[in-house]
Structure 1
Amino acid sequence: MPFSLSTPRRLGLLLAGFLATHQVLGQSAEAPAQRLGLVPLPREVQAPAGTYALPQKISIYARSKDEQNVAGLLKEMLTALGKTVTLTTSRPAAQIVLLTAPQPNPEGYQLAVDHAGIRISAAGGAGLFYGAQTLLQLLPPRPAATAGVPYVRIADEPAFRWRGGMLDVSRHFFPVSFVKKYIDFLAAYKLNTFHWHLTDDQGWRIEIKKYPKLTQVSAFRKQTLIGAQQLFKTPADFKYDATPYGGFYTQEQIRDVVAYAQRRYVTVVPEIEMPGHSVAVLAAYPELACKPGTYETWTMWGVNEDIVCPTEPTIRFFEDVLTEVCALFPSPYVHIGGDEAPKARWKESAAVQEIMKREGYTDVEKVQGWFNRRIEKFLTSKGKKLIGWDEILEGGIAPSAAVMSWRGEKGGVEAAKMGHDVVMSPSTHLYINYGQSPQPHSPYEPLMIGGYIPLDVIYNYNPLPAELTPAQQQHVLGPQANLWTEYITTPAAAEYMLFPRLLAVSEVAWTPAARKSYAAFVPRMSQQFARLDQKKINYRVPEPLGLDSTSVVKQGGKAVFTLRSLVPGARIHYTLDGQMPDETAALYTKPLAVPLNNRLTVRAVTIAPNGRKSPPAELLVK
C-alpha cells in the first residue's frame, strides 16, 4: 500500500522498539529470555554462564505414566533432530530427567540445565510436556552431533486455563494429517485447547451412525464460489468452479485425533452448529425445516436464512447426534455454535408460534434460548457443559453454560458479570483468517475474509477486560484464536495465516499482560523462524521494517531510510520504479537515500534464507 510521509506510524514505532530492545538487553530483567528467544515468555528465567553438551546418544529418565508419555514424545522430537534416544528408569544414567513433584499450578513446570544435565519437574504430564517444549527451544533448530544447551533455571506457569485455537473444517476440509499438525502447532507453543468446527452450511464433517445421510449428502456441496464474495455487486459476479467438494471424518478417525491430542495434553472441543448454520442438515433431512422444500448444502459463504425448526423432531435429532459426539470427545465442553441464526422462517412457522404461545414468549429470539436450554439440559445429562458463541446470551441461557465472545468483548463482559465462564475470542483481535496487509485485498496476499489484524494488534490484546472486577475476571477462562476457512483451501494456506501470528497468540494466552512487551517479543519471535523452517512450515515472511514515514531522515533534499528484516540471515531487495522486487533487484546493503523532489514508489521485500519472499513494504515518496 503506498504511503506518503504522513503515513500512520505503526511500522516506524515497531522498528524503534526493535532497536531499543536490542540496546537494553544487557540491562533488562528479561535479558536471559530475550537472549534465548523463548516463546511464550516464561515467568522466571535465570541463565548463569555455561553450556551443557547434550550428546548424540541420550537417555531420558521417566517412571510414572505421565513421565513416560512425555519421555516418548520428547524421544520422537529429539530423534527428528538427529539424536539417538532411549528411555531409562536408572536416573544416574540419564542426561534428561523427568520428575513429578507438587506444583501450585497443574500446568506449571521447572526446568534446570547445569553441569549435571537437564531436569524437568512438574505436577503432572501437562507441565512436563511444556517444560519439554521449552527445552526444545533451547536446542539448536537443526541436527547436530553435540548440542549445546545453555544453563538455565526456569520456573513457569500459564496465565490462563483455556488457551485455544479453532480450525474450521466445514468451509474447506482438511485431512487428518493436517489436523494433527495443527494440534502440534498449538502444543509446541503451549496452547491447550483445539476447537474443531465440524459442521456448517457448507459441509457436515463428522460421521453420525444413526444419520448416515449426514455423510452421504450433507458432507458434500456441488460446487464452490470463485473469488471474494464480499466484492461481488450483482448476480452476474457470482461464478462457481462446477466441481463437487466435500469430505468427512469417520468416528475411527475422530478417536485417533482425540487420542493424538490427549497425548499432547490438548483438549479437543467439538462444535456442532445449531440451530443456525444448518442448511447442510436440511439437505439430508428436509423434514427438520420450518418451511417444506428441497435444500442443498450451501455453495456460498455468509448467513443463510434456512435453519432447522426448533420442534421436537429437531431436538431429538440433535440429542441423537450429541449422544454420539459426547461418546467420542472426552472434553468437558461441547460447542453448539448458536450464532447467526436468522428467525425469518421461525416467524412464519405455526410450530414456532405454538411454542411461543405455550411458553409465554412475545419475542421469537426467546425461542432460541428455550431451544438452547433444552440442549444444555441434555448435555448435562451426559456430563458435559454447553459453550456457544455470544449470541446464546440473547435468548437466555442456563447458569452453567459458557460463552465464547466473538463480536468484540461486549458479550464476554456481560456473561462474566452474570457469572458465566467466558472464552475471549474477539474478531477484532483474534481472527487469524483476517488480513495481514493494510491494503484491502492486496494483490500480494491470498484472498481473505474480514479486516486487517497485524501482529502487534494480536500481541497487545488483554483477555481480561478492565471493566470487570477481579472476581468477575475469574470467569475469563482464557483467549482463543480462530481460523475460518472460506478462502483457506490448503494446509499451506492455513500455515501462511497462522504463522507467525500464532506465536503472538501463545504469549497472549500464557504470559500475564503486565509482563508483555511487543518490542521485546519481536526479537524473540525472530529466533523462531529457523525452527519453523526446520519443520517446513509455510509461514508468512514479514516485510522489511523501516520503509515508512516515521523512519525517514531528511538530508540534503533526500529521504534516507534504514531497513531491517525480522528474519535472521535474510536479504532485502528493493526497487525505485514501482516494480515488484525479486532476487534480481538491487540488494540493500546500506541506508537507502531517495530524492524528495521526485514522485516515486519505493518497494522492498525480504527474501528469507529458505528463498521464500515477503509481501512488499511500500512507500510513496513525494
Structure 2
Amino acid sequence: MKPIKTLFFLLAIALIGCAEKEHPSFTEADLVLIPQPKSLELHSGSFEITPETQFVIAEDSLEVLTGILNDLLVRSAGFTLGVTSEKTSNSIQLKRNDTLESEAYSLKVTNEKVTLGANSKLGFVYGLETIRQLLPKEIESTSEVSDLALYIPNVSIDDAPQYPYRGSHLDVSRHFFGKEYIKKHLDRMAFLKLNTFHFHLVDDQGWRIEIKKYPKLTEVGGFRVDQENKHWNARTPNDPDDEATFGGFYTQEDIKEIVAYAKEKGIRVIPEIEMPAHVMSAIAAYPWLSCKEEPIAVPSGGVWPITDIYCAGKESTFEFLEDVLTEVMELFPGEYIHAGGDEATKTDWETCPHCQKRMREEGLANTGELQSYFMKRIEKFLSAHNRTLIGWDEILEGGLPQKATVMSWRGFEGGWEATKAGHDVIMTPVSHMYFDYYQGSPDYEPVAFNAFLPLEKVYAFSPVVDSMSVEQKKHVLGGQANLWSEYIPTEAHSEYMLFPRLTAAAEVLWSPEEKQDWQNYAQRVRKMMQRFDVMDINYAKSAFAIQPESEIDLETGKITVALQSEFPETEIHYALDDAELTSGSSVYEVPITIDSTTLVKAAVFENGKQMGDAMNKFFDFHQAVAKPVTYKFDYNANYASTGATALVDVLRGSKYFEDGRWQGWINNPAVVTIDLQELKYVQQVVVGTLEEQGTGIYFPEEVKVEVSQDRANFQQVAQTTRDYQPNPGAKIENFKLDFEAQQAQYIRVSIQPLSKTPKGGGAWLFVDEILVN
C-alpha cells in the first residue's frame, strides 16, 4: 500500500470511529421502557441532546409540553431547550398527525433529529414520556450531573394504549396526604402513561374537600381523635366531645391547582363523594343527615358494620347532596363523578319512618330497592349536568341506574353482569388491583391488609373475562389500581405500596396482550428500579425477597429448605449459622437439608450487590421435636396448621396468620401435653405466639408450665403473665419460661387467652411452636 492510500485509509477509520463515538449505538437490553410499546424497532446510532438542540412545534398550544423534558434538563444538565416553529436539524420536532388515534403517538429518532407525531395533547405527552425513559436515568437527578451524555437510541416506535381507562386510586380519607404529594403522584402516573386519577376524598374517617355551603364538613369531619398507636381495627369509638386533631383537608384552591396540574399531564381526575355509606365524617358534622339524627364522632379506625349512613327518606338529604355535588362539579370539569354506593348496612332504614314512607310512596319492596332509588336519583341529577355516575359494584343490587358506569371490585362477576346489561365497566378486583395488600412476607414488610398481592399477580391481571361476548368486551373501559390507606400513615409508605406494582398495572393496561411477558417485564422493571433510585421513589424490593419453603420428615427429623425469589433467574447466595452472608457465599442450587439447630441466611445478589432484605430463618431442634401431642381443647378447624404435630415440628409461622403454620383457639385456652417418650432433663419451655389486634388475635394473658414423670401427677414449675398493650401491627413473641432443671417425660403447657379485649368479644389465641429445652 502506498503512503498516500495508507493516509486516506487511516483517516477513514478515524472518521468512522469518531462518528461512532458521537452517535453510539444501543442494544435492546439498554431500552428500559414501561409500559412496553406496541411496536418498536431499534436502529444503529443515536441522537444527542445538547444546549443547541431545539424543540420545533407547529402549534403554540404544544409549547407547554416542552416542560416535560425541560424541567428535567434544567436540573440535571443545567440547560433547557429553545423553542422554534422553523424546521431545523438537531431538533425534537412535534408534528400533528391526524391519522393517529387520540392517545397514540409515533416516534422516529435518527442521528440528526427526533420526530414525534400525535393527534392530541395526550399523544404528545406519552411520546415525550417515552423519550424521557429512553434518556439515561441520570436525567431524573435533582442536581446537575457532570459530563451527562444525553443520547436517545435511534428507534422507530408506533404506540397506542390497549384500554382507554388506565387508573390509579388514592384514598386520602383514612390518612391524609398533602397537595404536593398528590402532584408528585400525578407526575409518576404520567411517566407510566396512566390517564385517570381516582381521588377518594370522602369516607367515614375523614372528609377532605372544602364545601363552602357546609363548612363543618371539613371543620368537624376533616379531623378525628389521634389513635395512631393502635391497630386500625382495634381503635375504640370516640365521643363527639373528644378533641379531634388528626387529619386535614384540601381547600377549593388546592383542588383547582391539583386538577389543573393533572390536566397538564394528560390526566383526568375523578372525585369520589361517598354515599349512602362511608359518610360518618359528614354525619359527625351534620347529624340531621342520618336517620337517628344523633351526634356521633368521626371514627379513628375501622367500622363494621357501617350502620351510620345517610337517611334515604328525607328530602333534606338529597338537597344536601345536590349542593355538595354542585360545588364538586365546579371544581372537577371531567365527565365522571364517583358516588361510592358500597357496603351500606341498612338496618336504620328498616325502622326509620322517613325511609319507610319513601318506600311506600315509591312502591319499593325492600331496602335494597331503596338504595337503588337513592343511587338512581343521584345519577339523574348528575346526568342533568352532563356527568356520568360511577359506583362500586354494589350499585347493581336492586337495579342499576340507567347511565351508570360500574367499578367492579369484589371480583370480576359484577363487571360481567354490568357489561351483560350494556353498562360500561372498570375492572378493579381485590384479587389483582388492591395495593393495600402485602407484596411480600409480613415478617419483612410494613403492616398491611391481611392478604397477598405480589408483583407477578398484578402483572397477570386482565380486565376482560374470557366468557364475555364480543359485545360485552366493548364495555370494558379498562382497569384501576387501588391504594386504600387504613394502614398507610405516611407518604413514604404510600410510595412503597405503589411501586413497583403500579408499573405492572400500567403495562397490562397499555401494552397489547401479545407484548406482555412476565420474564421480559421482570428484567425491565429491575433496571427501572435504578431510575427510581435517582427519582427518589421509596419503592419496595419485595420481589427480590427470598421465599423459603420448608418441610420436615417426621420419621428422620430432617428438614429441607427450598429457596426462591419472585423475580425469575435470580442469583441466590446463602450462609449458615455464624458465617457472614456476602456475594461470595454459597450459590443456592438445590434444597438445603438440615437436621440440627441452624440459622439459614439467604439473599438475592446482582453484580455483587445484595438486592432487598436478607432472609434469616432459624430452625431450632429441641427435645420435643416430632413427639406425641394431646390437646384438652381442640384447635379451631380453620386454623389447624398441619395437625397434631404442628406445635413440635420446628417450622415456625410468619406474621401472616393464614400462612398455614399457626394453630388457633377462640373461647378456649390452649392446654397442650407433650410426651417426650422417656425421662429427660428439662429446664425451659418456649411458646411462640402471634398478635394482630385488628383481626382479634392477642398475645396470651398467662402461660403456665407443669411437668410429670407418670402423667398422673403434674407439678407446676413456671408461670408468666402479660398485660394487654396496644399494638398497631402484627407481632410475634416467644414466651420463655425458665425453671430448675429436672427430669420429666410429660410437659403440660396451659396458655390462657386475653380475657377482655378493648372492643369486647372473644380473643383469638395463635401458637406455632412449643419448644422444650
TM-score range, shorter chain: 0.7 to 0.9
Q: Contact 1:526/1:567 (CA < 8 Å) preserved in 2?
A: no
Picking from 54, 69, 72, the partner of 2:67 is 72
Q: Which residue of 1 aligns with 2:274?
A: 273
State which drifts further: 315-324 or 92-101.
92-101
Structure 1 residue 616, shift from structure 2 partner:
3.9
Q: Which residue of 1 aligns with 2:286?
A: 285
Structure 1 residue 105, shift from structure 2 partner:
1.8
Matched residue SS, 2:54? strand
Q: Contact 1:218/1:281 (CA < 8 Å) preserved in 2?
A: yes
Structure 1 residue 287, shift from structure 2 partner:
0.8
Please give the alpha-carbon distance, in whole angstroms, between the structure 1 residues aligned to 2:567 and 2:368: 49
The alignment status of 1:341 with 2:344, answered yes or no, reads yes
The alignment status of 1:90 with 2:91, answered yes or no, reads no
Structure 1 residue 393, shift from structure 2 partner:
0.8
Q: Contact 2:549/2:562 (CA < 8 Å) preserved in 1?
A: no
Picking from 307, 325, 331, the partner of 1:305 is 307
Q: Contact 1:33/1:45 (CA < 8 Å) preserved in 2?
A: no
Q: Which residue of 2 aligns with 1:486?
A: 486
Deviations along 1:314-341, one digit per CA (max 9) or x if unpaired, are 0000000000000000110000011011
Please give the alpha-carbon distance, in whole angstroms, between the structure 2 residues aligned to 1:58 and 1:315: 58
Picking from 143, 157, 160, the partner of 1:157 is 160
Q: Contact 1:38/1:524 (CA < 8 Å) preserved in 2?
A: yes
Q: Which residue of 2 aligns with 1:603?
A: 601
Mapping for residues 108-507 of structure 1, pairs under 5 Å? 108-142=104-138, 143=145, 144-229=147-232, 244-303=245-304, 304-310=306-312, 311-437=314-440, 439=441, 442-507=442-507
- After TM superposition, which residue ranges in structure 1, 4 or more long, deviate above 3 angstroms? 31-35, 225-230, 542-550, 557-568, 570-575, 584-590, 592-595, 605-613, 615-622
Deviations along 1:512-564, one digit per CA (max 9) or x if unpaired, are 223311111100111101110111000012454776569xxxxxx99898988
Deviations along 1:193-234, one digit per CA (max 9) or x if unpaired, are 00000000000000000001111111111223534345x5x9
Deviations along 1:29-66, one digit per CA (max 9) or x if unpaired, are xx976541211011100001222222244321123244
Picking from 56, 59, 64, the partner of 1:61 is 56
Structure 1 residue 360, shift from structure 2 partner:
1.1
Deviations along 1:164-194, one digit per CA (max 9) or x if unpaired, are 0000000000000000011111110000000
Matched residue SS, 1:334? strand
Matched residue SS, 2:344? coil
Please give the alpha-carbon distance, in whole angstroms, between the structure 2 residues aligned to 1:255 and 1:608: 45
Please give the alpha-carbon distance, in whole angstroms, between the structure 1 residues aligned to 2:497 and 2:576: 29
Please give the alpha-carbon distance, in whole angstroms, between the structure 1 residues aligned to 2:431 and 2:295: 37
Task: Give, as a single letter, the amino acid of the residue that structure 1 aligns with 2:91.
Answer: Q
Q: Among the aligned pairs, what percent are the same residue?
A: 38
State which drifts further: 138-147 or 408-417.
138-147
Structure 1 residue 383, shift from structure 2 partner:
1.4
> How many equivalent residue pairs?
572
Structure 1 residue 262, shift from structure 2 partner:
0.1
Residues 65, 277 of structure 1: CA spacing in aligned structure 2 closer, same or farther, 3 A cutoff?
Answer: farther
Q: Contact 1:218/1:283 (CA < 8 Å) preserved in 2?
A: yes
Please give the alpha-carbon distance, in whole angstroms, between the structure 1 residues aligned to 2:67 and 2:471: 40
Q: Which has the larger radius of gyration?
A: 2
Picking from 103, 108, 114, the partner of 2:99 is 103
Matched residue SS, 2:437? coil
Unpaired runs of at least 5, structure 1: 1-30, 551-556
Deviations along 1:82-115, one digit per CA (max 9) or x if unpaired, are 2522222222055211111113421000111112
Q: Contact 1:71/1:98 (CA < 8 Å) preserved in 2?
A: no
Deviations along 1:234-281, one digit per CA (max 9) or x if unpaired, are 989xxxx99720100000010000000000000000000011001111
Structure 1 residue 455, shift from structure 2 partner:
0.6
Which is strand-richer, 1 or 2?
Answer: 2
Give the TM-score normalised by the residue count of structure 1.
0.85
Q: Contact 2:116/2:124 (CA < 8 Å) preserved in 1?
A: yes
State which drifts further: 110-119 or 186-195.
110-119
Matched residue SS, 2:389? strand
Please give the alpha-carbon distance, in whole angstroms, between the structure 1 residues aligned to 2:380 and 2:261: 30
Give the TM-score normalised by the residue count of structure 2.
0.69
Matched residue SS, 1:614? strand
Matched residue SS, 1:91? coil
State which drifts further: 267-276 or 89-98.
89-98
Name which structure has the greater RCO, CA cutoff 8 Å, separation 6+.
1
Please give the alpha-carbon distance, in whole angstroms, between the structure 1 residues aligned to 2:467 and 2:37: 27
Please give the alpha-carbon distance, in whole angstroms, between the structure 2 residues aligned to 1:360 and 1:252: 44
Residues 559, 300 of structure 1: CA spacing in aligned structure 2 closer, same or farther, 3 A cutoff?
Answer: closer
Please give the alpha-carbon distance, in whole angstroms, between the structure 1 residues aligned to 2:370 and 2:257: 37
Q: Contact 1:572/1:588 (CA < 8 Å) preserved in 2?
A: no
Structure 1 residue 395, shift from structure 2 partner:
2.3
Matched residue SS, 2:107? strand
Please give the alpha-carbon distance, in whole angstroms, between the structure 2 residues aligned to 1:609 and 1:32: 19
Q: Which residue of 2 aligns with 1:43?
A: 38
Q: Contact 1:83/1:145 (CA < 8 Å) preserved in 2?
A: no
Please give the alpha-carbon distance, in whole angstroms, between the structure 2 residues aligned to 1:332 and 1:565: 40
Please give the alpha-carbon distance, in whole angstroms, between the structure 1 residues aligned to 2:562 and 2:416: 44
Unpaired runs of at least 5, structure 2: 1-25, 139-144, 551-557, 620-649, 651-773
Residues 601, 302 of structure 1: CA spacing in aligned structure 2 closer, same or farther, 3 A cutoff?
Answer: farther
Residues 179, 596 of structure 1: CA spacing in aligned structure 2 closer, same or farther, 3 A cutoff?
Answer: same
Please give the alpha-carbon distance, in whole angstroms, between the structure 1 residues aligned to 2:509 and 2:230: 34
